[in-house]
Chain A
Amino acid sequence: MGSVGAKDIPELLDANGKRIDGRDLNELRPLKIEAGVLQRATGSAFVEWGENKVMAAVYGPREVHPRHMQENTKAVVQCRYNMASFSVDERKRPGLDRRSQEISKVIGEALESVLFVEEYPRTSIGIYIEVLQANAGTRCAGLVAASVALADAGIPMSDLVPAVAVGKVAGKLALDLRKEEDNYGEADVPMALVPKSGRLVLLQMEGHMTRDELKTAIDMGVQGCHKIYEIQKEALRKRYSIAHDGGDAQ
């Protein structure tokens, strides 16, 4: 890529306070979730969120490989987040890197906190997240997809886990950053919520925010998560209620 001079930085907020794609500050990108899209996996989900496209597949509970990783009191949650080489502008070198390892870890831990892992000791639950097209917020999209896939797989869990990022662009807090805002903004705070208990199971921050801004950001994120939560539930209902009781499940 060429050098990024001041001229190249896009105008992140216009005079009316609208964002680069015409959204308001606390408006989500359009989110579409489809559950049960893969035949071979136990559970799966596909998420299109703005220009993100993320597929999640779940296997298990099944045998643990390698064996020494097995735990006698609970199922181990093995999560893999991976970006396709064609998911970004310039070809990404395929395979594990530091970034994907970190994201796999935080997503796995976030999901483990809602799974009843004690019910299946000496087994593993495999979560595979593939990012097909990336446009900022893929860890949140991956987490949203993975939690729908887990519910689709029938693995006992206390709640679905919606996730969203809040960032700071042109000095203002904004919900659900897109790529330009992430690249040229001042901060990015992804978070994941368990709506039932109000617990945040993922919270990271890149960039700078004041303490008050962070508090507001979390409030904005939690509100966004509740909207995503409804879309997640709707996706599962849409996929399964019709097949079993001819429509309208209450």
Chain B
Amino acid sequence: MKETKGLVLPGEPLGTAEELAPGRGTYEYKGAIYASVMGYPQVESESKTVSVKAIHEIPHVSEGDVVYARVEEIKPMLLVTTVLCSAVNGRVVPGYPDGTVHISKAKDSFVDRLEKEFAVGDMIKAKILSGYPAVKLTTVGHDLGVVSARCQECHAPLAHLSENKLVCTRCGRREDRLVSSEYGKVTHILGTATSSAT
């Protein structure tokens, strides 16, 4: 059970160190617990942990979060990506951690080869299965999968053709992808300076 209170600001007292344990968005100073971010405090009654749910949260890559990532490498059983930003508030994930999608977590049916579903450089939308230190992702879900891709031959943007087919806007080449329902609708992905979002 969680108990919440009104808005707190950085430096506002939340309780004493004897009664509560400091969680995310809080810190302990001289025997008391204070908020370190602006947001709403929550007390987890079982663990007696107080945390502050920030109004403007810095993404933390924890289980269940939805993020945008860029495909960096395709291994036989594993897709290696860089996690760029939160899909909820668009905010950059500090440190750009690597995220991996195992072949069994790419879609809910059998995947023969990951190369048939993704290509290096694709922007994907994925859900986090487990956070730090090894970020594991899944692309199983209607809105998850590739949201932006470019032609392997001529590097022009690919347009959505049918369910799992994309077509090059310049050379007409067709490519297979695990396409998200948001393909082509994501116009701006905040991320690295090298981000090649279309």
Taking Cβ atoms with an 8 Å cutoff, the residues of A that contact B are 42-43, 60-63, 65, 75, 116, 120-123, 151-160, 195-197, 233, 236-237, 240-241, 244-245, 248-250
Task: Tell me, in angstroms, the Cα distance from A32 to B34 when the chains sit together.
Answer: 26
Contact B58 A160 (CB under 8 A): no
Contact A237 B9 (CB under 8 A): yes
Closest residue of chain A to B192 (Cβ to Cβ) is A63
Q: A61-B58, A154-B37 are in contact. Are A244 and B192 (CB under 8 A)?
A: no
Shortest CB-to-CB span from B35 to chain A, Å, is 9
Contact of B94 among A61, A159, A197 (CB under 8 A): A61
Contact B38 A156 (CB under 8 A): no
Complex interface: chain A residues within 8 A of B5 (CB)? 250
Complex interface: chain B residues within 8 A of A249 (CB)? 6-7
Instruction: Provide 18 A-B residue pairs closer than 8 Å at the C-beta atoms, listed in order of the A residue.
Output: A63-B92, A120-B95, A121-B95, A122-B95, A123-B95, A152-B38, A154-B38, A156-B25, A156-B37, A157-B36, A157-B37, A160-B9, A195-B11, A196-B34, A236-B9, A240-B55, A245-B6, A250-B6
Contact B192 A241 (CB under 8 A): no
Task: Tell me, in angstroms, the Cα distance from A157 to B94 when the chains sit together.
Answer: 16
The 9 closest A-B pairs by CB, nearest first: A249-B6, A154-B56, A159-B11, A249-B7, A61-B94, A156-B36, A250-B6, A154-B54, A241-B7
Known: A157-B11, A160-B9. 15 other contacts (CB 8 A): A63-B92, A63-B96, A63-B193, A116-B27, A116-B36, A122-B94, A154-B58, A157-B37, A158-B34, A159-B11, A160-B11, A237-B9, A244-B55, A249-B6, A250-B6
Shortest CB-to-CB span from A235 to chain B, Å, is 10
Task: Tell me, in angstroms, the Cα distance from A197 to B38 when the chains sit together.
Answer: 19
Contact B94 A123 (CB under 8 A): yes
Task: Tell me, in angstroms, the Cα distance from A155 to B39 when the chains sit together.
Answer: 11
Complex interface: chain A residues within 8 A of B58 (CB)? 61, 120, 154-155
Shortest CB-to-CB span from A148 to chain B, Å, is 10
Complex interface: chain A residues within 8 A of B91 (CB)? 42
Contact of A151 among B6, B10, B95 (CB under 8 A): B10
| Cβ < 8 Å to A, chain B residues 126-147 | none
Contact A240 B27 (CB under 8 A): no
Taking Cβ atoms with an 8 Å cutoff, the residues of B that contact A are 5-7, 9-11, 25, 27, 29, 34, 36-40, 54-58, 91-92, 94-96, 192-193
Complex interface: chain A residues within 8 A of B9 (CB)? 151, 160, 233, 236-237
Contact A196 B7 (CB under 8 A): no
Shortest CB-to-CB span from B49 to chain A, Å, is 16
Instruction: Indicate the member of A43, A154, A160, A244 with the most B CB atoms within 10 Å.
Output: A154
Shortest CB-to-CB span from A227 to chain B, Å, is 16
Shortest CB-to-CB span from A72 to chain B, Å, is 11
Shortest CB-to-CB span from B160 to chain A, Å, is 29
Closest residue of chain A to B40 (Cβ to Cβ) is A244
Contact A244 B7 (CB under 8 A): yes
Complex interface: chain A residues within 8 A of B38 (CB)? 151-152, 154, 236, 240
Complex interface: chain B residues within 8 A of A43 (CB)? 56
Shortest CB-to-CB span from A75 to chain B, Å, is 8
